[in-house]
Amino acid sequence: MRLIGKLAIRTVYYLLIIICMAVIGAILWSRITGGEPSFYGYQLKTVLSGSMEPEIQTGSVIAISPQRPEAMKRFEAGDIITFRADEQRLITHRIIEVRTSESGGQILYRTQGDNNDAPDSALVRPDNIIGSYTGFTLPYAGYFLSFAGTRTGSLLLLIVPGLLLFLHGAYSIWKVISQLEQTSSNHDGPDSPAAV
For residue 63, the enclosing domain spans: 2-164
Q: Is the pLDDT of residue 127 over 70?
A: yes
With vertex at residue 121, the alpha carbon angle to CA 35 and CA 94, rounded to the nearest 5 degrees, is: 60
Q: Does the active-site annotation cover 49?
A: yes
Whether 101 is in a domain gets the answer yes
Whether 22 is in a domain gets the answer yes
Whether 170 is in a domain gets the answer no
Catalytic residue among 49, 65, 146, 154: 49
Average pLDDT over residues 11-18: 80
Whether 171 is in a domain gets the answer no
Beta-bridge partners for 138: 61
Whether 23 is in a domain gets the answer yes
Summarised one tens digit per residue, pLDDT across range 21-70 is 776 666 666 655 666 666 677 888 888 899 999 999 998 888 898 887 65
Mean of per-residue pLDDT scores for the chain: 81
Beta-bridge partners for 94: 80, 112
The one-character DSSP state at 69 is G
Instruction: State how many domains the chain has.
Output: 1
Whether 42 is in a domain gets the answer yes
Q: Would you state the pLDDT for residue 16?
A: 74
Summarised one tens digit per residue, pLDDT across range 87-124 is 888 999 999 999 887 777 788 999 999 999 999 999 99
pLDDT band at residue 77 under the 50/70/90 scheme: very high
CATH of residue 139's domain is 2.10.109.10
